[in-house]
Amino acid sequence: MQFLKIFAIIVLSVTALILLALYIKSRKPVKNLIVNAFSGIAVLVIINLSARFTGIHIPVNWWSVLTASGLGIPGVTGLILLQIIMPL
């Protein structure tokens, strides 16, 4: 289990670096960052609203909100994978 946790953190870190590089190369980095943040937060809210039907709930705290807003949809996907691997 410890290996999977470290592997997930490494994958999320690499994803963050790739997204940061794409933001810097794009013509409108601020707009892309804002759209990505809103989409991540929206997906986090949708996941938590549908928790009754899906059985997957992501606790809302500073780490999950920062991950969802910073990494967007890939970040929420990573949070879901961590939730599946290590349920609370």
From the CB of residue 77, how many other CB atoms can be counted at a distance below 10 Å? 16
* pTM of the predicted model as reported, rounded to 2 decimal places: 0.71
Q: Can you give the pLDDT of all 88 residues of the chain as single tens digits? A: 678 778 877 887 888 888 778 878 878 878 888 888 899 999 999 999 998 998 888 889 998 998 999 888 888 998 888 888 877 6
66, 69, 73, 78 alpha-carbon torsion, rounded to 10°: -10
What is the residue extent of each domain of the chain? 2-85
Cα-based distances in Å from 59 to 9, 11, 15, 42: 17, 21, 21, 14
